[in-house]
Chains A and B, each alone.
Chain A
Amino acid sequence: MKNIIWLASFPRSGNTWLRYVISSLLEQADAAKIDIIPTLHCANRKAIEETLSFSVSLLSVEEVNNFRPAVYRQWSKEGTQRPPLFIKVHDCYAKNENGRHIFPSDVTQATIYLVRNPLDICVSYAHFWGLDNYDKAADLICDKAHSLPANNIDLFGQIYQHIADWSANVDSWCNESKIPVKIVKYEDMKHAPLATFSNIVEYLNLPYTEDEIQSALQHCDITKFQQQEAEIGFGDRPYGGDKFFRQGKVNVWQDKLTKHTVNKIVSCHNAMMQQFGYLNDAGDPI
């Protein structure tokens, strides 16, 4: 049954915000609580091990990737009585060593892929990892081997995910994937939230009115999440990192990044930044 909706993105592109809004709609809750993680994560190690019935810590990364399609098919099978199964993804869209797509098309209803300006991601990512300068974050988003977690002792209860560099991640889902993908720009979510989220809801054929979407957006206001994070912390943030729920502003890079860091990112991601309108005709960031 095609009942999985992948919520995919490079990290720090609005994925958690989208998850909370969708979760708020599904549960019709009065308020979103950040200690209740909304929707499944494709890398949730506990859920994966319960499904496999053996530990992934006994397997190589390649072996785990070979098992992943069957895990997601099982989740699809077990989720048939519910609304669509929303699953968060940061991996790039790729095949495993067996030549099978890790995210199988036969159980996929759709994908929402969130794209955000990599210059703004750079600022956010530096704070997320607690890096002491933005250039190090630029190196991460230009690294073709970029992965989460960075090593085996910082698993955060997740399996290894191959993120790849920003361009490869975006290109894999938006241009190369074999499943239906709706591309949503983070900047549109910020500038016109009601219209953008309504558009997502309509695309997914979810039965929610504009009033309900507006209400969900109010429940998921970032200031409310910031207050909760200050009180109880947030599990998806690595130790040593800054706040998970930051300001999420658009074009914050203009006040933060040096010319050197901007040039590094633009040079690395020129083609894909052009495709999504983050560069002007002269190739300069907008």
Chain B
Amino acid sequence: MQTYHYNICGLTVEFPWKIDYFPTSNQTPDVFIQFGVASPPSKEVMLYQGPYCQVAPNHFFLSIDNIANFMVRDGNLITIEPQGNIDTDSLKTFVLSSCLGVLLIQRNLLVLHAAVLKKNGKTVAFGGGPGCGKSTLSALLLKSGAGVLADNIAVICFDNKTTAMTLPSFPNIHLWQSTLDKLAINGYNSKKIRPEINKYVINIGADFVNTPQPLSSLCILSPWNKREIHFEQITGAEKIFQLTNVSFRTKITRGLGMDQQHFKHISALSNTINMVKLSYPQDWALNSTLINHIDEYLFK
């Protein structure tokens, strides 16, 4: 079977499919994604069991009804066992989100739910819970001239104790059809993430920042129902609380036995970057004002 090699998060990943617009790699693969039999860990070693996943050190098993079983092992292997006639785009979507995120945790990297953008030489991560507006903000900043390192999963490693480096993930962002229409983003190729979902992968081409960048700030997005746009510095123990809150799949991290490493990572990150909370209205009429405030406060 033909395979394809791409550079993702500083790793060479071997895929069973061609993926348009992803940066190719000529290096020996660090990670393999392949079809096969996916099996759960034995009960004796299992540390966490959810309704659709079973987790043990170096072993994550995910079974999604009518889509596929997935197994992520040892930070270097994702096995896909499709169910029925599931389409390739659906498989890619779950591999590049849940499975890859878990694999990066297995490789002892810090994974946050955050978009990462670079502008005026500064790299800022925008984190927050689901639906807080990360992707919409990424698109707005992209339109204003920013480059994108990551849309949803921010991967962070430490060059030394004083520099947190954020790794480039994929050259795309995900947007709902309604958001795309409102933002009138032109000049990029787009495709539905899955046939039945009205959400699109927007390939951002040259606006993808494809080299690791030192992270200067993490901005926690906190939409509210007031008209004001308000920045507040996060300090002390609140930094750890917020970093835990935006960490990718904390239950899975515990199930992998990686919670101590995770705590070391967020402690280190809390000591190396600026953290702010941005309270803002999710109001399309105020988008340009919001970007101006972010430029002034975080990218200047």
A interface list, Cβ under 8 A from B: 45-46, 49-60, 63, 66-67, 70-71, 73-74, 151-158, 233-235, 237-241
User: In the complex, how many angstroms separate the beta carbon of A228 from the nearest chain B beta carbon?
Assistant: 13
Given contacts A49-B130, A156-B131, A239-B225, contact A59 B197 (CB under 8 A): yes
A42 to B173, CA, bound (A): 28
Q: Is the CB of B50 within 8 A of A58?
A: no
A73 to B223, CA, bound (A): 30
A238 to B282, CA, bound (A): 9
Q: Does B260 contact A (CB under 8 A)?
A: no
A272 to B114, CA, bound (A): 47
Q: Is the CB of A239 within 8 A of B281?
A: yes
Q: Does B263 contact A (CB under 8 A)?
A: no
Q: Is the CB of B130 within 8 A of A51?
A: no
Q: Which listed residue (A56, A155, A234) contacts B225, Cβ 8 A?
A: A234
Q: Is the CB of B52 within 8 A of A52?
A: yes
A155 to B199, CA, bound (A): 14
Given contacts A45-B129, A153-B136, contact A53 B53 (CB under 8 A): yes
Chain B 6-28 interface 0/1 with A at a Cβ cutoff of 8 Å (1 = within): 00000000000000000000000
Q: Does B295 contact A (CB under 8 A)?
A: no
B interface list, Cβ under 8 A from A: 50-53, 62, 64-66, 93-94, 97-98, 129-132, 136, 174, 176, 178-179, 182, 193-194, 196-199, 223-226, 249-252, 281-283
Given contacts A58-B93, A155-B131, contact A52 B51 (CB under 8 A): yes
User: In the complex, how many angstroms separate the beta carbon of A40 from the nearest chain B beta carbon?
Assistant: 14
Chain B's closest residue to A236 (CB) is B225
19 A-B pairs with CB atoms under 8 Å apart are A51-B51, A52-B50, A52-B52, A53-B98, A54-B64, A55-B98, A58-B93, A58-B197, A60-B197, A63-B66, A70-B51, A70-B52, A151-B178, A157-B130, A157-B131, A235-B224, A235-B225, A237-B225, A241-B225
Given contacts A53-B98, A55-B97, contact A153 B130 (CB under 8 A): no
Chain A's closest residue to B132 (CB) is A157
15 A-B pairs besides A58-B197, A63-B66 with CB distance below 8 A are A45-B129, A45-B130, A50-B249, A50-B250, A51-B251, A54-B52, A54-B94, A58-B93, A60-B197, A152-B179, A153-B136, A156-B223, A233-B224, A233-B226, A239-B225
User: In the complex, how many angstroms separate the beta carbon of B77 from the nearest chain A beta carbon?
Assistant: 18
Chain A residues with CB under 8 A of B53: 53
A202 to B53, CA, bound (A): 39
Q: Is the CB of B226 within 8 A of A58?
A: no
Chain A's closest residue to B222 (CB) is A235
Chain A's closest residue to B228 (CB) is A233
Q: Which listed residue (B64, B94, B179, B283) contacts A239, Cβ 8 A?
A: B283
Given contacts A70-B52, A239-B283, A241-B225, contact A53 B252 (CB under 8 A): yes
A60 to B198, CA, bound (A): 9
Chain B residues with CB under 8 A of A56: 130
Given contacts A53-B98, A53-B249, contact A158 B131 (CB under 8 A): yes
